[in-house]
Chain A
Amino acid sequence: MVAGRLDRESVDAVLNDLDEYAIEEALRIVEPLNEGKETPEHTITLISMGPERATEAIRKGLSMGADSGILVSDAALQGSDAISTAKVLAKTIQSGGFDLVFCGTESTDARMSVVPAMLAEILGWAQLTFAGSVKVDITSNQVEIARMTDSGVENMSAKFPCVVSVIEKINEPRYPSFKGIMAAKKKPIENKSLSDLGLASSELSAWSEVVDAQPRPPREKGLKLEDSGEGGAKLADYLLEKRLV
């Protein structure tokens, strides 16, 4: 525990599961467009914010088929909240002349799931999030998605530039091939600091303050019984006695 924020140091820097779906979807859109071209017309850049060890995560994405990576690392970013993360990513995106940004829907660690929406807000781009399917029409610069959430399915569209976030069931991410892993070793990963991006750490001050953090007390040892013919009846007694059903 470090003052005022949660220490995420102990969490391994692995490519977030959900980001793999985003990379896979971007590859599926870009690959057919580049087919038969000597030099690819459309490229995929992986952008990540995190400690140096996040390089390995980027390398994995490159071995899936992306072209290059940018890693933003800065001591001032430790423990940054969702808004700071979105600001840094937005600044990085603005420096690259991109048309589309693909994100996973939810980071598996902080469960904020709001970064894609914040990105769209900061960039002033169209927000197409929680996509269960994505169609890109390169001639009209139009993106169509089916947004899938608990509230149902919505079909929506927008023109470039767009922030797209994809849900887990959109595709089956590929495993990097041996050839892909070898090729990834030669692909460029650019390291940037906050000052490279022209951002001052004062612009990223966290607006929330952790007052207290406690590990959840372990649950008290419960009752455990072998079913020897009346396990169901005993379960029913327990639930009725506790007025749970």
Chain B
Amino acid sequence: MTKNLVLIDHDGSKVAKSAAELATFAKRAGSAVGVLLTNSGTGDSLAAQLNGTDFERVIVVENDEINRHGIAAGTSALAQIIEKEGAESVLISSSARGKEIAGRLAVRIKSGIITDAVDVTADLGTTQSVFGGSFTVKAKLKTPVSIITVRPSSIEPATSTSNPTVEKVTVTIDAKDKLVEISASQPPVKGGRPDLTEAKIVVSGGRGTNGNFAEVEAFADLVGGAVGASRAATDAGWYPHTHQVGQTGKTVSPQLYVACGISGAIQHRAGMQTSKTIVAINKDPEAPIFDLADFGVVGDLFAVLPQAREAIKSKRS
């Protein structure tokens, strides 16, 4: 049984889905205490969103300097809580910010770090999927504190009938952690669709769309999925780079991945081959994506997708 902290990811008003997932991993190993770093006056409403999760306690740090000075300030705050709590592990979501805080923290408190785990066991052993999903690695840290970043959607979070207690704590941010000044921030432009890395279903389009993503989007919307794109599609300017799935883009591991008009170059496979079920639609029967697919249709996505959509709609009703 270890004392585990979870850094809670949020956007200032909404707690990320990853928080409850990490609480469930933490509880496997021992205690689950959340750390919420946020601006003054926002702690209570954020902490309330953690009711019914596996957290037994939430430490709220309301300090405007953390958002103003970025990663170094966040690292400092978290390091102070770890020391105060005598924590043995810190679980952090594998977002850009999460991984950077984890990295700086590892250097600062001289702890080992494992990034992008997809599973954490009761003895804080981790499973990672490396080299683009072609290898599975189990590893353990040897330092007194284990810093582990975990990919979103790696576990179905448990629910609890009790609510965590909330504790407010203050921290001091030194000048050396205020070298960066953040002058403005804009939230990401969100459509109505789920985030690519968090989604249970991802529908992706490639060269075969010829730049027309309407059918890909319509299918994604019907099944509540996110929209992805191959590098060929994003390089051609057909879809934003932020939606690129692959080695230089996002790595996704959804329950269902639907590849539409994507040949399945190694670059792309590296970003999606750990998906639970893979469906491929491609005109070319020799496309390498079919080697991965649990279900493949050799055909035109502009015929197959609308027909599948109509069939799902009629069977559902």
Contact = CB atoms under 8 A, between A and B. Distances in A.
Interface string B269-306: 00001100111010001000011111111111001111
Interface residues of A, number: 74
Interface of A: 6, 17-18, 82-83, 86, 106, 108-118, 120-122, 124-130, 149-159, 168-169, 206-216, 219-220, 222-227, 230-240, 242, 244-245
Nearest to B68: A156
A209 B137 CA distance: 10
A227 B179 CA distance: 60
A149 B96 contact: yes
Interface string B123-155: 001000111011111111111000000000000
B141 A207 contact: yes
Q: 3 closest pairs, A vs B, by CB? A: A232-B307, A227-B299, A207-B112
Interface stretch (B20-28, B165-173, B182-190): B182-190
A159 B175 CA distance: 13
Contacts of A227: 297-300, 303-304
Contacts of B99: 112-114, 117
B187 A152 contact: yes
A127 B279 CA distance: 41
A213 B141 contact: no
A235 B139 CA distance: 39
Most B CB within 10 A of own CB, among A112, A118, A122, A245: A245
B212 interface: no
Given A82-B115, A114-B103, A127-B72, 6 more contacts: A121-B103, A150-B197, A155-B185, A208-B139, A210-B137, A223-B295
Contacts of B72: 120-121, 127
A177 B103 CA distance: 38
A21 B209 CA distance: 28
B152 to A, nearest CB: 10
Interface in B216-244: 222-223, 241-242
Nearest to B67: A154
